[in-house]
Amino acid sequence: MDDEARTIMKIRRVSVVFDGFQALTDVTADIPEHKISFFIGPNGAGKTTLLDIICGKTRPTQGNVRLCNQDGTETILTRLPEYKIVRLGVARKFQTPSVFGGLSVMDNMMLSLKGHKSVREALFYKMTEEDRTLILDTLKQVGMESYTEERAGALDHGHKQWLEIAMLLVQKPQIIMLDEPAAGMNKDETRKTGDILLAIKDRCTIIVIEHDMDFVRQIADEVTVLHEGKILVKGTVEEALENKEVQAVYLGRGGEKDA
Amino acid sequence: MKITQDKTKNICFLVIAGILALCPVLLNSGVISSSSFVTYIGKCICFCIVAIGLDLIWGYTGILSLGHGLYFALGAYGMGMYLKLQATDGQMTDFMKTGGLKKLPLIWSLFRTLPGTIVLILVIPAGIAGILGALIFRNRIKGVYFSIISQALTWAGYSLFIALSPYTNGNVGITEIQSVFGSIRGKRHFSNMAMLFYVSLAVLIVVYFLSEKIVKSKFGKILIAIRDGENRTYFSGYKVSAYKNTIYVISAMLAAVAGALFINFNGSVTPTQMTITYSITMIIWVAVGGRGTILGPVIGALLINLCEYNLSSGVLVDIWQYIIGGLFVVMILFFKGGLMGILTEQIPAAIRKRKASKPLDKEKQELQAH
Amino acid sequence: MSTIITTMFNGLSLSSIILLASIGLIITFGLMKVINMAHGEFLMIGAYVTYLVQLFFQNFLPAAVFDLYYPVALVVSFAVTFLLGCVLEKLVISHLYGREVDSLLATWGISLILMQLARTLFGTQGVNVQAPGFLTGGLSIGSVTFSYNRIFIICLVIASLIIVSAVLNKSSFGKQMRAVIDNRPIAQSMGINSRRIDCLTFGFGSALAGLAGCSLALLGSIDSHLGQNYIVQCFITVVLGGVGNLAGVVIGSLIVGFSTIWVQFYTSSNIANAIVMVIIIAFLQVKPEGIFSRKSRALDD
């Protein structure tokens, strides 16, 4: 694994306990900038919990997550409320598409723009040409520039997912985290999603949780395997999948995961 | 499509406002014979205002307050205290003397002037709503828990106002007052009544268009986003509690304004305006009219209260309760969008479905012919 | 000294009344997550049924068996409200699972209808029930009198708690109920008729309200507003105790009952209600999940 990439996020000794259940134990990882890093593993391994910790939905019982800023300083994310983490440029896409169904695609994008988040600004906000151009360009990247007036709730599953990715992209985030983006998509849609991510990775850093191995092979730069809340292996796709322990964990669970 | 919908809505509202504006004129010219009917319409205008306030928090933001009667009543009591002091010329009232008070309570003396009263009518409910909102929304208490707490609060207010009878005249409430323009009873005082009526109507029109502006702005879209996906809104970088708090305070102030106008028409206010039943009745207006539309609540408030006026005598009073109860249940179960929803979504959808199935029938006929 | 004992007893009595009225709510609100705003009206129905049974005994049966009306009334109230609960579930509630706010509103509509029904059938004046002989009067210890009907209510509450706890935890119906509430698809795939269980569960919760109403009949006059007097306290008590928690509601009702009586001692009943509500709301700011809560992984529940 090449290590010229700057580390943009440090996960240090994160443990999470829910009511006696140990979801994550002592997880430590460095996320390299401008790369696509995958977290894979059987269900219940703690992958979603890890994303929850990073974006602030859950607090770790131990450990912390730090964002490495351009100027060399570090910001401890695990102390901040969600909306502040978002404003720092850490964006998350949830497993089930969660767009604002009652609003149009254009409105969904408008709400996702950076800035103007306070109540007062929101009352008097008027969309500038610059904002409109940015929104349309971002929609173009996911192939949805003609969908602006559609009601988001009326879109099909694939388009909802891409809208959500567009909503993340328009924030020009530093880090995008995706939880099973290929879920519910057919082969073509999955491939298109992969192409979108490959096209944007030089502008940000991407963390993905996924089960679909074709998708992993298509775009992953590095893969970390989680099992029962602990890191099993980290490396390239081949290294991870050829690892004996990883195979045992997957086979022990009943066979191949990429169905 | 969307723009024409908005324009149509606004035109509908202006038509309704126009019809309302005609009422005093019709009374004066004898077409409408009962001045109490026009007074009742005046009360309905106040109901429209509080209904719009409720729509802002419930229809757009998803906050179901079952205790807005509290703010409505506070506005009414505030104005009532001013009007009562006008009637007693700044002296103590009878119920204070009966209650054993030695002089005019401090809180009452704040309501000696009209400007002071107007300020307090806005500030006190806003303050209570602000504190409640700050606590509750910060703790992410939502959904039904908020509704239950809002109920409990209004019930507490109701109990308090009954208990503090030297200050509030308990169950009887504030009575024997004239409106801010003087008495509005009968043909003699028609000009007072007309002034009051048009002032209230003007307030309604301002409130309507202001609310429309709010919901069309980015702020309004965020409210809808909060309603549809609160977590997603957090993760889009918005401090949801600040938005909820803001709109809740605005809605409380609207209810208070409505209450302050209401007491002018009603001539009295009692703790009944603070009950849960009263508060939920307001919700019924919004639900029947169509939540999340600003126009719907206006229609709902007018329609239901007009029906109630017509069915207010004799045997029909009892039936009315069944009708309104049943209507409410049916609306919640099958017509979540209320009347507006039926007109703008369900009927067009049904028509589209019928149109879509027609070509298939034709194809079937052609196939059978072969 | 005697004032303290009387106050304590009154506190216990009020707590037991609130608890009795709230037990049914634990099942419908706590377990099924259905907000039944008509719960108060089931209390009212139980009370009116008691009145009717009493009338029947008074007019059609010899005076010697008059006192038996009460046990009969308990059974009949339970049965009637159980059936009504099932009907309500089939007609309205079953459409509203998962839609908590809507169930709140729709049942309010039902509540309006039921209240009006009471007024149509019984008029707006309150009716009174004559307590059976074995419940009139009180137990006198020294200078303190404990009225029998209040003692009876306390016993009834304890008995109800034991029965409900037994049904929930030991009976097969209780197990099926909890299975359906926990994980409906799995329960269905194991052959449990979830629709029927829903109906019976809701009926059971409503029947407990009917039972409570039967006891409330002993305490004062019955009119269409009987339910409204209790509904707010009941819901707040359930929320305070931690929704879905039997022990929590017991503690909650003890807190509400005792603090109301205690504050009432210094002020009046209305102010006491107001102050206690405000205190509870304040407490819920500090601990929104109530006294006993189940920590879950979900952010919102």
For B254-297, what is each residue's pLDDT tens digit?
999 999 999 999 999 999 999 988 999 999 999 999 999 999 99
pLDDT grade for A124, boundaries at 50, 70 and 90: confident
**Where exactly are the structural domains of chain B?**
2-336
Please indicate whether, in this complex, the C-beta atoms of B225 and A100 are within 8 angstroms of each other: yes
CATH architecture of the domain covering B2-336 = Orthogonal Bundle (1.10)
| Residue C209 half-sphere exposure toward CB, CA atoms < 13 A | 35
Per residue in B84-126, pLDDT tens? 888 888 888 888 888 888 888 888 888 888 999 999 999 999 9
**What is the edge-to-edge ordering of all strands in the sheet holding A7-18?**
A21-32, A7-18, A62-68, A74-76
Q: State whether C295 and A57 contact (CB < 8 Å).
A: no
C8 found inside a domain: no
CB contact under 8 A, C236 and B148: yes
**What residues of B are in contact with residue A149 (Cβ under 8 Å)?**
2
Mean pLDDT score, A3-8: 77
CB-based contact (8 Å) between A19 and chain C?
yes
**pLDDT at site A107:** 92
Q: So what's the pLDDT on residue B366?
A: 67
Q: What would you report as the CA-atom Rg of chain A, rounded to the nearest whole angstrom?
A: 18
- Taking one residue from A and the other from C, the number of pairs with CB-CB distance under 8 angstroms is 5
A51, A103, A111, best to mutate vs chain B, most B CBs in 10 Å:
A111
Q: Do A123 and B219 touch (CB under 8 A)?
A: yes
The pLDDT value given to residue B75? 95
The pLDDT of residue A237: 85
Here the ipTM equals 0.83
**Which of chain A's residues have a Cβ under 8 Å away from the Cβ of C297?**
18, 58
Residue A171 in tokens: 């924030």
Rounded distance, CA A148 to CA A166, Å?
12
**What is the CB neighbour count within 10 angstroms for residue C236?**
25
Residues of C in contact with A19 (CB under 8 A): 295
In angstroms, the Cα distances linking C278 to A32, C25, C173, C260 are 52, 22, 39, 12
Q: What are phi and psi of A46, to 5 degrees?
A: 110, 10
Nearest chain C residue to B149, by CA: C281
If you count residue pairs, one on B and one on C, with CB atoms under 8 Å apart, how many are there? 121
Residue C229 has a pLDDT of 84
Give the end-to-end CA distance of chain B in Å, rounded to a whole number: 42
Residue A129 in this model has a pLDDT that exceeds 80: yes
Domain that holds residue C102: 15-226
E strands, chain A, where?
A: 7-18, 21-32, 36-40, 62-68, 74-76, 90-93, 175-179, 205-209, 222-227, 230-235
C165 pLDDT higher than 60: yes
Number of domains in chain C: 1
Q: How far apart are CA B162 and CA B150, in angstroms?
A: 19
How many C-beta atoms surround the C-beta of residue C15 within 10 A?
Answer: 25
Other CB atoms within 10 A of residue B32 CB = 16
Q: Can you give the pTM of this predicted structure?
A: 0.85
Q: Is A57 on the interface with C (CB under 8 A)?
A: yes
For residue A87, what is the nearest residue in chain B, using CA coordinates?
B237
Q: Is B237 helix (H, G, I), strand (E, B) or coil?
A: coil
pLDDT confidence of C293, banded at 50, 70, 90? low
Note whether B334 contacts A: Cβ–Cβ < 8 A. no
Averaged pLDDT for residues B15-31: 88
> Do B227 and A102 form a contact (C-beta atoms < 8 A)?
yes
Q: In the predicted model, what is the mean pLDDT of residues B189-198?
A: 89
Instruction: Tell me whether residue C55 is in a domain.
Output: yes
Average pLDDT over residues C103-122: 91
- Where on the phi/psi map is residue B65: left (φ > 0), alpha (ψ -120 to 50), or beta? beta
Chains that touch C (3 or more CB pairs under 8 A): A, B
Average pLDDT of the segment spanning A59-81: 89
